[in-house]
């Protein structure tokens, strides 16, 4: 069988790359074992334009968020599922200094669209411990990137373009025309394996870091919190009284399994501010594909031109993936040069 592209890994990166390539009439074959502890299955998919202790705009957020929103909205229409949920983020400010920093940042040019001086707590006012003060972030969202990957997989399967299997690097043949793997030949193979890239003999030279995160899915009956709140941990409303709580951030880890320490940390942080009882429904963990300079990895292998990578989405896959998957597809189709900030040649 001959296709234009083989894609290894179908998290949010592989899914959106397949989507944009197919939009340009390219054929793909996607390999993935469907691993429950992949980052896209565990993440909340929060898009947060204002981050860090200094309340700065995330990298290139003015381009990334509108592109992400229009891509996810288009996919919602095509797939018939709900993916992109616009939700403001209430940000707890713990002392006078934090409040001053917040207020002064709201006056900076380009920040007024994303930050409100005065937060509207809604039901959080009654059901959480009162903190010193609060800020509110707009143009933020929760994106069901796991639902997106799972739904898109069904489309790929129906087209015979998906194989549920782990890719075996030793079986890859590099040919003058491209690559051959099992019975599939392609001009290029693109690796989108998230944190598992450390096992990829062709691209594990790249400076991946990796950061493990534990998360909880909890139930809080009969509440209608509509906004995300960040009070040391994020509490993210999903649906049917379910909420995502996370996450831990560990640079050192032995494996990708959930730990008792991670769960205890999250439960304690939640109990610090939530005045309501909650039931833990699920406890999960995964490793974020973080990169030392915090920029995605796009490009072709320096020696084998038919091998390429799209990875390094780090802690921000929901906002980065649409824009950079589209960029990668255009690069593969020779419609543009890679942006130097994301090109693996920088390493
Ligand atoms: C706890 C946690 C919380 C997070 N919260 C957020 C958040 O709120 N907002 C946000 O934007 N981002 C968040 N992230 C980050 C986000 O999840 C990632 O940036 C994004 O999901 C990475 O997508 P990916 O497709 O590159 O990797 P993954 O989602 O890990 O997908 C990689 C895929 O490759 C497959 N694969 C691996 N090896 C092979 C192989 N040999 N053969 C075939 N297939 C293979 C895996 O099965 C998997 O499906 C979070 C991550 C974690 C872990």
Note the CATH number of domain 5-42+146-208+292-346.
Answer: 3.50.50.60
Q: Domain locations in the chain?
A: 5-42+146-208+292-346, 88-139+211-288
Mean pLDDT on 22-51: 98
The yes-or-no verdict on residue 274 having pLDDT over 90 is: yes
The yes-or-no verdict on residue 112 having pLDDT over 80 is: yes
Which residue lies with its CA nearest to atom 33 of ligand 1?
9
CATH number, domain 88-139+211-288, options 3.40.50.920, 3.90.76.10, 3.40.50.2000, 3.30.9.10: 3.30.9.10
The yes-or-no verdict on residue 299 having pLDDT over 80 is: yes
The pTM of the full predicted model, rounded to 2 decimals, is 0.98
The yes-or-no verdict on residue 127 having pLDDT over 80 is: yes
Residues with CB under 6 A from ligand 1: 8-14, 31-33, 35, 38-40, 42-46, 145, 166-167, 192-196, 213, 215, 246-247, 286, 288-289, 311, 313-319
- Tens-place pLDDT, residues 82-104: 999 999 999 999 999 999 999 99
SS3 letters across the chain: CECCEEEECCCHHHHHHHHHHHHCCCCEEEECCCCCCCHHHHCCCEECCEECCCCEECCCHHHHHHHHHHHHHHHHHHHCCCCEEECCEEEEECCHHHHHHHHHHHCCCCCCCCEECCCCCCCHHHHECCCCEEEEECCCEEECHHHHHHHHHHHHHHCCCEECCCCCHHHCEEECCEEEECCEEECEEEECCHHHHHHCCCCCCCCECCEEEEEEEEECCCCCCCCEEEECEEEEECCCCEEEEECCCECCCCCCCCCHHHHHHHHHHHHHHECCCCEEEEEEEEEECCECCCCCEEEECCCCCCEEEEECCCCCHHHHHHHHHHHHHHHHCCCCCCCCCCEHHHC
Name the average pLDDT for the chain. Answer: 97
The yes-or-no verdict on residue 222 having pLDDT over 90 is: no
176 alpha carbon to ligand 1 midpoint, in Å? Answer: 32
89 alpha carbon to ligand 1 midpoint, in Å? Answer: 23
Query: Cα(154)–Cα(136) distance, rounded to whole angstroms?
Result: 37
């Amino acid at each position: 069988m001959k296709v234009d592209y083989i894609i290894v890994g179908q998290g949010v990166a592989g899914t959106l790359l397949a989507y944009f390539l197919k939009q340009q009439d390219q054929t793909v074959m996607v390999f993935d074992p469907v691993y429950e502890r992949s980052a896209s299955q565990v993440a909340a998919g929060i898009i947060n334009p204002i981050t860090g202790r200094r309340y700065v705009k995330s990298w290139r957020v003015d381009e990334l968020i509108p592109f992400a929103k229009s891509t996810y909205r288009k996919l919602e229409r095509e797939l018939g599922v709900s993916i992109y949920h616009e939700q403001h983020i209430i940000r707890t400010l713990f002392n006078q200094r934090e409040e001053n920093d917040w207020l002064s940042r709201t006056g900076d040019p380009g920040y007024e669209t994303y930050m409100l001086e005065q937060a509207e707590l809604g039901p959080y006012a009654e059901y959480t411990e009162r903190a010193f003060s609060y800020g509110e972030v707009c143009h933020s969202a929760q994106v069901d990137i796991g639902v997106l990957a799972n739904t898109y997989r069904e489309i790929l399967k129906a087209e015979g373009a998906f194989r549920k299997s782990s890719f075996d690097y030793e079986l890859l043949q590099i040919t003058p025309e491209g690559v051959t793997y099992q019975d599939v030949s392609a001009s290029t193979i693109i690796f989108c394996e998230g944190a598992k890239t450390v096992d990829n003999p062709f691209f594990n030279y790249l400076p991946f870091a990796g950061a493990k995160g534990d998360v909880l899915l909890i139930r809080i009956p009969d509440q209608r919190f509509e906004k995300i709140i960040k009070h040391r941990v994020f509490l993210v409303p999903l649906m049917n009284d379910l909420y995502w709580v996370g996450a831990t951030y560990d640079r050192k880890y032995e494996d990708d399994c959930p730990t008792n320490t991670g769960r205890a940390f999250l439960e304690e942080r939640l109990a610090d501010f939530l005045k309501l009882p909650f039931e833990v429904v699920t406890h999960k963990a995964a490793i974020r594909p973080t990169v030392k300079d915090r920029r995605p990895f796009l490009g072709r292998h320096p020696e084998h031109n038919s091998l390429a990578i799209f990875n390094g989405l780090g802690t921000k896959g929901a906002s980065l993936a649409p824009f950079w998957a589209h960029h990668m597809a255009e690069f593969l189709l020779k419609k543009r040069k890679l942006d130097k900030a994301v090109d693996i040649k920088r390493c």
